[in-house]
Amino acid sequence: MLRGLYTATAGMLSQQRRMEMLSNNLANANTPGFKADQSSLRAFPELLLSRMDQTSVPTKQPLKFAQNQQIGTLNTGVYLQDVAPKFTQGDMRPTGNDTDLAILNQNLPEGSSIFFTVQHPDGTPRYTRNGNFTMDPEGYLTTNNGLYILDETNNRIQINSNSFNLQPDGTILVNEVPQARLGITLANNANDLIRDGNGLFRASEGQQLQNANGNPNVSFQVMQGHIERSNVDTAQTMSEMTSAFRAFEANQKIIQAYDMSMQKAANEIGRIN
């Protein structure tokens, strides 16, 4: 009787985690460069039930033989198998701010993505699509939370000018003189990246991504005065949240039905009038 209770509970937990993921996507719908998470539900491995029994042979000295009779399979519920970002291109929004930069994908290998490179406080590189940059008092190009933007040689970019021009390949010009080139990196398998908070990603096992500049299989354009919007589809996200809530509610009602059945069994069956 309790098997269905456990199955419904697993359904509620998986839908709750799915709802948390969708809520986070919706909350970041206006975050520049945010990549929405996507997930999949999967059933736990099915169990094969069998009954162990004995068969007696009516002889002078009774013999007993073990007997194994298969009953059938049992599904033990579902779980949220995987949560991974969706690295599709977000829309470009003009801002008119020279320090706002956006990467426009043109030709990338399948399953790959490209990123700006920033320096984490621990000195290791991180990767982001959020180009909502600013300039600190010392003239360094930074993110809004103070992380330094790195060039193609992993050095900080110091501009020392209130205005600059950007070439489509990421080269920064001050008075038509090249100052640095943005470090645009390529993740051959973007799904291997790990979220690190604040729109940042890191490579697994401390690895560093390769430089995308000069790669013959990669073409892109860096746009100045634009930011990339998040790729969250708010209408679809709201629809999925409604579906997840209804599935959660259906499993909840199943558990309530089991609870009422067990209460009735405990309180009424076997009562002596």
pLDDT tens digits, one per residue of 23-34? 999 999 999 999
Radius of gyration (C-alpha) of the chain in whole angstroms: 29
Residue 168 banded pLDDT, cuts 50, 70, 90: very high
The range of the structural domain enclosing residue 19 comes to 1-45+76-87+232-262
Lowest mean pLDDT among 2-6, 38-42, 44-48, 238-242: 44-48
The reply to whether 246 and 190 lie within a common domain is: no
For residues 88-105, average pLDDT = 94
Structure tokens at 3: 């098997």
Any domain includes 269: no
Together in a domain, 213 and 102: yes
In-domain check, residue 57: no
Question: Mean pLDDT: which of 71-85, 152-166, 204-218, 222-236 is highest?
Answer: 222-236
Please compute the mean of the pLDDT values over residues 32-47 and round it to a whole number: 83
Do 134 and 255 belong to one domain? no
Mean pLDDT, residues 220-234 taken together: 95
Mean pLDDT of 51-67: 68
Structure tokens at 166: 């950007």
Band of the pLDDT at 47, cuts 50, 70, 90?
low
User: Does the structure show a pLDDT above 70 at 1?
Assistant: no
Alpha helix ranges (H) inside the chain: 3-27, 234-267
Residues 183 and 200 in one domain: yes
Q: Is 267 within a domain?
A: no
Mean pLDDT of 130-144: 93
Same domain, residue pair 122 and 169: yes
Q: How would residue 245 be classed by pLDDT, with cut points 50, 70 and 90?
A: very high
Distance CA 222, CA 157 (A): 16
Determine, yes or no, domain membership for 40.
yes
Which position has the higher pLDDT, 32 or 2?
32
Query: Using 50, 70 and 90 to split pLDDT, how confident is the model at 230?
Result: very high
- Mark whether 33 and 121 lie in a shared domain: no
- Same domain? For 133 and 25 the reply is no
Tell me the mean pLDDT in the region 131-142: 93
Number of H helices, E strands in the chain: 2, 20
Mean of all residue pLDDT scores within the chain: 87
Could you tell me if 25 and 143 lie in one domain?
Answer: no
> What's the pLDDT at 65?
65
In a domain, 51, yes or no: no
Co-location of 224 and 237 in the same domain: no
Contacts of 157 (CB under 8 A, 6+ apart): 140, 141, 148, 149, 150, 151, 172, 179, 180, 182
How many residues in the chain? 273
Ranges 66-75, 107-116, 207-216: which has the least confidence: 66-75
The answer on 256 and 203 residing in a single domain is no
Compute the average pLDDT of residues 33-42: 89
Residues 135 and 19 in one domain: no
Number of separate domains in the chain: 2
Q: Is residue 154 part of a domain?
A: yes
Assigned domain for 56 exists: no
Residue 38 shares a structural domain with residue 99: no
Helices 234-267 and 3-27: crossing angle in degrees, nearest 10, is: 150
On whether residue 37 sits in a domain, the answer given is yes
